[in-house]
A and B are shown apart, each in its own frame.
Chain A
Amino acid sequence: MALTEKLNLLNLPEEEKKKAYKFYADLALVSDEQLNDNVTYLKAQGVEIAKARDIKVLCNSKEELAKKFSILHEIGETDIFVQNPKLLNHNVIDIYKRINYCKQENIEYKDENGYKNFLFSEDKFKELYNKKDEVKEEKIEVPDITLEKVEEPKVEVEPPVVEETVEEAVAQDTTEEVKEETPQVEEVTEEVKEEENAPEEKVEEPPVEEVKEESPVTEEKEEPKEEVQEEKVEITPDDKDVYEQLNGDATIPNIDFSSIFEEPEEKTIDIQPVKEDINLDDFITINEDIKDLEAKTTSFADIKNEVNRSELKDELEKELAKLEELKSKTEEEISFQDIEPESYGMGRAA
């Protein structure tokens, strides 16, 4: 069959027949038998080759066309292919997969002109497909991360109270570990934006391991609980502020600061209010009274001394009088003894 005869078999409009010479190669590749079979099969499917550019569809074998139509019937997407037979040259199985994906993800794949272009291009569809995947990964990851970081504060709540004073506890390792952990929460939020370009690498990061590494902190710090309770008194509101700043909002919630920072009753000193109505005049008069009293006390002492002295004088005088009496007596006795009997003319008997 000559090419013109083949062309006449297609019943193309006159305008299209004029253009058709550019596509004679397609007609040349198709045998007469294949041309007849394909034309009849396509007519049975409601397809008419009405444009010169659609002639190439006839280069497909009848089996290929039948396979493609069976898929299209299965998904109920024959209309657009019937209206635009050129699309039958595409790999319908790939289109079927893309349409299914779009249906699952509620992506619109049709517009006024028929199918959207991305259905026929693997590259364009890959771009869309990958972006959808990234979004899925983000949606899945975010809750996992937040769950893990909700648990972290529970781990950190108990430790801040250590054997040492609270100031030391805040200043030392515990806070440093807290500082190292909190950026991870921020990292997480910052990472989430960058993941669109390289999502898989960040998916692999196992945040669970980080939590496991932190677990020893709880073991070390659970031991001194009893001692800690005794030292609660030493926590000051300033420490509380520092601790809150270091831990952030995420780590604080389980801490009952009200119980920790209560001021102990022992420490509270009930000082009776000193006379609030104090006059300086009162002080002056009191001082004068004190001075007078001091003056009086000295005079009494002097009097006592004087009295004592006068008494001693009297006693001494008495003693002296006694001594003089004794003296006079002794002198009389001595004078009487000095008179010896011999001197009196009287001798003693031998």
Chain B
Amino acid sequence: MKFLEKYEFSKEDIADFLNNSPKKLIDAIKDNKKLVSENIDYLKGLGVTNYQQIFLEYYDMFLMDHSNFVEIFSKYEPEDLIEKLNKNIKIVEYL
């Protein structure tokens, strides 16, 4: 999971993530790190500052096809979306 360190995840966060996630999902993320990285990059590019929190809570979402992933977030005004995501990351489920 070293690729997550590039996205400024702390080692402690990565360790917690690995310790508290189903093995199948961890393996899937490792196997699809390019896809996962693309999706993280998208959020980062949108200006979402708390993308690390979003990933640690909804890591299975980042296994979505990139186009589907973009479609979820692109429906909203970036500034409004960023503001709401900063307030509460749970809105991701309702997007």
A and B are interacting partners: yes
Please report A residues at the B interface, Cβ cutoff 8 Å.
19, 21-26, 29-30, 52-53, 55-57, 59-60, 64, 89-91, 94, 120-123
B3 on interface, CB distance cutoff 8 Å: no
Partner of B64, one of A19, A25, A90, A123: A25
Partner of B16, one of A23, A60, A121: A121
- 30 CB contacts below 8 A, A to B, read A21-B68, A22-B58, A22-B61, A22-B72, A22-B93, A23-B60, A24-B64, A25-B61, A25-B63, A25-B64, A26-B60, A29-B24, A30-B24, A52-B93, A55-B60, A56-B25, A57-B22, A59-B23, A59-B24, A59-B25, A60-B22, A60-B24, A89-B21, A91-B19, A94-B19, A120-B20, A122-B12, A122-B16, A123-B12, A123-B16
| Closest 8 pairs between A and B when the two form their complex, measured CB to CB | A25-B63, A59-B22, A90-B20, A59-B24, A60-B22, A29-B24, A91-B19, A123-B12
- Which applies to chain A's interface (DSSP): helix, strand, loop or mixed? helix
**Assembled-state Cα–Cα distance A89/B23 (Å):** 9
Q: A23-B61, A25-B63, A30-B24 are in contact. List 18 more A-B contacts (CB 8 A).
A: A19-B93, A22-B58, A22-B92, A25-B60, A25-B61, A25-B64, A26-B25, A29-B28, A52-B93, A53-B93, A59-B22, A59-B24, A60-B22, A89-B22, A90-B19, A90-B20, A120-B20, A121-B16
- Contact-size category for B: 20 to 34
Given A19-B93, A22-B93: A91 in contact with B64 (beta carbons within 8 A): no
